[in-house]
Amino acid sequence: MLRIGIHGLGFMGMMHYLSYQRLGGVKVTAICETLPERRKGDWTKIKGNFGPQGTETDLTGIKTYADAEELLADAEVDMVDICLPPNQHAGTAVRALKAGKDVLSEKPMTLTLQDAEKMMAAAKESGSLLLVGHVLPFFPAYAFVYEAKQTDKYGKLLGGHFDRVISDPVWLKNFYDMSTIGGPLLDLHIHDVHFIRLLFGMPKRVESIGRLRNAVPEYFTTHYEFADPDIVVTSTSGCIFQQGRPFMAKYEVHFEKATLVLDGAGLTVLTEDGKVEKAALPNLDEVGIFANELKEVTDSVAAKRVSPILGGELARDALAICLQELGSMSVKHKK
């Protein structure tokens, strides 16, 4: 039985808690949270822009802590699941790793490359696993692309375009603070960057154009250049002011023998023989998607192996690419 301690009970902490309930061989044994009502199970004020809303939750049998050091000292916690704001990921992860715990940190891994390297060094020194919760590859439409790439189903992967745009998340305090959350670049766009890195490897150069809000990227488009000139990858992401604008994520991915198109109508496969087919995807709710992600995490911990999807190096690379995009936009705005 893998024993989990969740640190942070916001929306993501709640989603992880609900997802663990669907997995076998896993038990949440402890929760660390500063708000006393949430330690008592009153999660009614927890909400996000997707998925279930919080309810009254029975935490019988689960230890609750207000102090992180108590959680890290708990011998009945094997893995710490960090669902804190991004600027608290690195310090908490390093302390947990030094305490001998395996660690899952929510994305983004952290906000600076220096802190990312500290996290990876702590994992190496402790011999514990460091995993980062990039859930996008576990959404059925994205898992379809990843599997096609892994199996060479449609031949060589040639590139694509990825979109992820939302209305301004006015409910998130400090959203446009690069030292706290990281704005659309590190809170939203990094999903697609991680997936691009997973599919295509590390680009040799990125070039971005975009609007900045007080030096923080607000809306932007990026071209990723790879060693193979046949690979053409671009993305668009960010926020717009109009609150009536719904969340949107879509892509068009090009293989030699097919193009995969995700839009409001679902996932369409355009094959080289002229056929247009709707892909049959698993019908998963949001908790089911996160449960698949956390199964990859818990399987990795049980086997003491670094996940090929959720490993720290991949998450560090995604952060590095995003910061290159920031640099590209910043240079253009200084001209």
Q: What is the DSSP string of 77-98?
A: -SEEEE-S-GGGHHHHHHHHHH
Given this model, what pLDDT does residue 48 score? 77
Given this model, what pLDDT does residue 332 score? 78
- Give the pair of three-digit tokens for residue 330: 């910043």
Burial of 304 per CB tally in 10 Å (0-12, 13-18, 19+): exposed
312-334 and 113-126 are packed helices; what angle lies between their axes, rounded to 10 degrees? 170
Residue 177 φ/ψ, nearest 5 degrees: -125, 110
Given this model, what pLDDT does residue 271 score? 95
**pLDDT higher than 90, residue 246:** no
Given this model, what pLDDT does residue 335 score? 65
Please give the average per-residue pLDDT across 312-322, as a whole number.
98
Please give the average per-residue pLDDT across 325-331, as a whole number.
94
- Reduced to 3 states, what is the DSSP secondary structure of residue 3? strand
Please give the average per-residue pLDDT across 194-214, as a whole number.
97
Query: Closest Cα to residue 93, out of 136, 59, 124?
Result: 124
Given this model, what pLDDT does residue 126 score? 97
Please give the average per-residue pLDDT across 138-144, as a whole number.
98
The number of C-alpha atoms within 13 Å of 29 and in the hemisphere containing its C-beta is 17
Q: Could you tell me the domains of the chain?
A: 2-133 (3.40.50.720), 136-289+318-334 (3.30.360.10)
- Reduced to 3 states, what is the DSSP secondary structure of residue 149? helix
Cβ neighbors of 11 (< 8 A, separation 6 or more) are 46, 47, 48, 51, 54
Among 50-59, 105-114, 135-144, 190-199, name the one with the lowest average pLDDT.
50-59
Q: Are 190 and 183 in contact (CB under 8 A)?
A: no
* Cβ count near 147 (within 10 Å): 11
Q: Are 110 and 91 in contact (CB under 8 A)?
A: no
* Cβ count near 327 (within 10 Å): 12
pLDDT tier, 232 (very low <50, low <70, confident <90, very high otherwise): very high
Please give the average per-residue pLDDT across 220-244, as a whole number.
96
H helical segments located in the chain: 11-20, 36-39, 68-73, 89-98, 113-126, 140-151, 183-184, 190-200, 286-303, 312-334
pTM: 0.96
Tens-digit pLDDT profile for residues 266-310: 999 999 999 999 999 999 999 999 999 999 999 999 999 999 999
Percent of the chain with pLDDT over 90: 92
Query: Closest Cα to residue 16, out of 127, 138, 111?
Result: 138
Query: Closest Cα to residue 322, out of 109, 12, 61, 169?
Result: 109
Given this model, what pLDDT does residue 67 score? 95
